[in-house]
Amino acid sequence: MTGVSSSARPATGRLGRVGWVGIVAAALLLASCGGTPSAPPAGRGAPDATVSGDGPEPAGSAAAGGGDGARAGQQDLRPGERFDRLAMPAAYTPSAPYGTGTDDYRCFLLDPRLDRDAFLTGTDVLPGSPDQVHHVILFRVPPGSVAAAEARDAGEDGPGWTCFGGSGLDDGASLDDAPWIGAWAPGSGESVMADDVGIPLQEGSRVVMQVHYNLLAGTRPDVSAVRLRLAPSEAGLARLQTVLLPAPVELPCRPGHGSSPLCDRDKAVRDVTRRFGQAGRLADYLHLLCGSAAPGPRQSCDRELSRPATIRAVAGHMHLLGRRITIEVDPGTPRARTVLDIPVWNFDDQGATTIDPVRLRAGDTVRVTCEHDQGLRDLLPAFEGQPERWVVWGEGTTDEMCLGLLMVTRP
């Protein structure tokens, strides 16, 4: 029931609602498919530097006091693009939703006021309190899900709603087409996609901004925001999609450190579920997706692709105990290729890596492999005072994840 072997059966592209939404919540990385682009394609139209958006500017952010103009390091708008700044409707003071734990995931519903279809071509997340904000993920909300999102928002006191896992909205998304459209994590800046791709947003769509607060850093009021870079639907861009490649984490306590009750796996999983509700069940769901292997510092998972795709960018995500992450295509065959290899993981430097297009066929296998190290508990301040535990997939800052991401276009 622990880990994944390379011979595990191919994973399907869809989990139950509890399953995939938790995996989506792990996807912290930037949906960046190009740095400085070449000349934009025909059809972008005339330059348009329109900036819109209501709501308070995030205190302490790079944009605070700067109005809606460009900020340092921001790439110029390309022909046809415009900015739309969206901010949380009011300040939010984070707290542990279940009365325990050191993490708060809160979702805020934002309205870009789209009166026509558009392409999202970049995101610039502005965390209001960067020391408290562990990460931010942006989810698209199609028009058919807006009423459900508004009901969730109205169902809890204060701005937004608790959303361990994903946004908490059942919009039929899958691992092969995740609903996230951008993110911020430590070390991230503005994410601008290559000039021939974009994420389609339908007229009337909304955006959910999920903010993960690390309560170990404090509980001060926060107002975070995001600048969306939008292009008209007539731009003729290729549709960019995100494929998620999760793998289990099964990291037992070190020899000689087994006195903590949480060194028992079942108790560790119950603790994760107590802190995060149903999202804590991902520790077991991932073994249904990937298969089983012995617990240890190295875990992997194979996915067999059901459709052709072209990889445009790759990314990986782990937490503080991560050492190395790789993504391979068709491992062990003459067509084997490594499309991502981060030999020294740095949680404070996350982002997607643009690669030369890699074309995948239906039936190709993609493998993500992660290596974690319990010994880092002795070196990192975040673990001071934290008991030794069997580490499984969890939403918290001091839990762990193993996630590969492919940003792809499809025929």
Which residues contact residue 349 at a Cβ distance below 8 angstroms, ignoring those fewer than 6 apart? Answer: 186, 187
Cβ-in-10-Å burial (0-12, 13-18, 19+) of 407 comes to buried
According to the model, what pLDDT value does residue 165 have? 67
What is the structure's pLDDT at 281?
Answer: 81
pLDDT digits (tens, 9 = 90+) for 122-174: 999 999 988 888 888 899 999 999 999 999 999 999 999 998 767 877 655 56
Q: What are 68-114's pLDDT values in tens digits?
A: 445 556 789 999 999 999 999 999 999 988 777 788 989 999 999 99
Write down the pLDDT at residue 190.
87
Predicted pLDDT at 46: 31
Give the closest residue to 405 by CA, choosing from 336, 319, 340, 310: 340
**pLDDT attached to residue 263:** 95
Poorest-pLDDT segment among 29-43, 161-175, 381-395: 29-43
Give residue 232's pLDDT. Answer: 97
Of residues 294 and 7, more confidence is placed in 294
What distance in Å separates the CA atoms of residue 61 and residue 288, rounded to the nearest whole number? Answer: 41
**Spatial contact of 319 and 401, defined as CB atoms under 8 Å apart:** yes
H-type alpha helices, 42-184: 146-154
Whole-angstrom distance, CA of residue 303 vs CA of residue 287: 13
Measuring CA to CA, which residue among 407, 362, 4 is closest to residue 182? 407
The Cα 283–Cα 342 span in angstroms is 24
Cβ atoms within 10 Å, residue 377 = 21
191 CB-side CA count, 13 A: 32
CA 116 – CA 200 distance, rounded (Å): 11
